[in-house]
């Protein structure tokens, strides 16, 4: 059986439920996850349900098999997903070159540029920047997206392994992972010498392949079926891991990712994914 979780926090009433059911040929109401916020429908197929219900203003939809609805592994992108910023763009602002670097970032996230090459190009432009600027940027600019801490801390309470995997840098990713509550993280290392950025990335580059491989390796290590995994991201660099996951979610995503994801989260905070896992508010760990 497929379950469609209809999410419209604070405005999901009988009228909206009725309108949803009228758009579907063989759907039926299963019950509330949280009354007025999220409800479950039994539906016949995923593509047809998404075509009929996606795109309503203020409404998000997650369609998935009832079996393994509660995942055991979450792998999440960081920039513009778990946090609301692109760290390298914000760091570039302190060097006075944000527009130049942000333009490259945007093209890379849309899939128009090779990620590794685009990363090296952007990092090279930061050569000579004082490394202490990273701490300043973290304190002044970097903030988790709404619901991020609630999502991760609640999932961990329900024995879900959580991994933050980022094409960004450990200097940002490590403190964000700690703040939000992830079990562990994977990210790139910025070169630093004599207190200045060298303009190089040290070691392997965490690209789309590494992101997917991180999910696969964790899944196999935990002995999980593919359907027991969840991945979420926003850009083209996340496509491989989102397609690999049992449930792949696009968060405020670029078209390249939104087009291939199993579900889109366009209107609600990240904690809305708890409703898709049949976890009501009374079981949430507040931010």
pLDDT tens for each residue of 241-262: 999 999 999 999 999 999 999 9
* Whether 88 contacts 168, CB under 8 Å: yes
Residues annotated as catalytic are 77, 79
Q: So what's the pLDDT on residue 226?
A: 97
127 is written with which tokens?
């050569």
Residue 9 placed within a domain? yes
Please count the helices (runs of H) and the strands (runs of E) in the chain: 12, 11
Residue 2 placed within a domain? yes
Residue 195 placed within a domain? no
pTM metric for this prediction: 0.96
Mean pLDDT of the chain, nearest integer = 95
Residue 48 placed within a domain? yes
Our count of domains for the chain comes to 1
Domain enclosing residue 29, as ranges: 1-67
Residue 62 placed within a domain? yes
pLDDT above 80: residue 199: yes
Count the Cβ atoms, other than its own, within 10 Å of residue 283: 12
Identify each DSSP E strand in 174-269 by its residue range.
184-193, 196-202, 229-233, 247-251, 263-265
Residue 50 placed within a domain? yes
Q: So what's the pLDDT on residue 46?
A: 92
Residue 251 placed within a domain? no
pLDDT tens for each residue of 55-87: 888 999 999 999 999 999 999 999 999 999 999
The CATH number of the domain where 62 resides is what? 3.30.70
Residue 168 placed within a domain? no
């Amino acid at each position: 059986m497929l379950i469609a979780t209809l999410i419209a926090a604070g405005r999901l009433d009988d009228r909206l439920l009725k309108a949803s059911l009228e758009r579907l040929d063989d759907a039926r109401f299963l019950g509330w996850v949280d009354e007025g916020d999220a409800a479950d429908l039994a539906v016949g197929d995923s593509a047809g349900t998404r075509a009929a219900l996606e795109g309503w203003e203020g409404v998000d939809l997650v369609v998935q098999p009832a079996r393994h609805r509660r995942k055991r592994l979450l792998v999440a992108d960081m920039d513009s997903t778990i946090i609301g910023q692109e760290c390298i763009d914000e760091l570039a602002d302190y060097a006075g070159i944000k527009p130049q670097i942000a333009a490259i970032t945007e093209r890379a996230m849309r899939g128009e540029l090779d990620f590794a090459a685009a990363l090296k190009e952007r990092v090279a432009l930061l050569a000579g920047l004082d490394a202490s600027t990273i701490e300043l940027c973290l304190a002044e600019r970097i903030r988790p997206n709404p619901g991020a801490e609630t999502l991760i801390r609640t999932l961990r309470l329900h024995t879900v392994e959580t991994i933050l995997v980022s094409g960004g840098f450990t200097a940002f990713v490590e403190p964000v992972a700690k703040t939000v509550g992830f079990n562990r993280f994977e990210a790139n290392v910025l070169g630093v010498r004599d207190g200045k950025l060298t303009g190089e990335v040290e070691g392997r580059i965490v690209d789309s392949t590494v992101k997917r491989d991180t999910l696969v390796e964790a899944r196999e290590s935990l002995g999980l079926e593919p359907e027991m995994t969840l991945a979420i991201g926003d850009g083209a660099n996340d496509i491989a891991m989102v397609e690999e996951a049992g449930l792949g979610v696009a968060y405020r995503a670029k078209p390249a990712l939104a087009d291939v994801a199993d579900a889109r989260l366009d209107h609600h905070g990240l904690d809305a994914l708890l409703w898709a896992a049949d976890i009501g508010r009374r079981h949430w760990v507040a931010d």
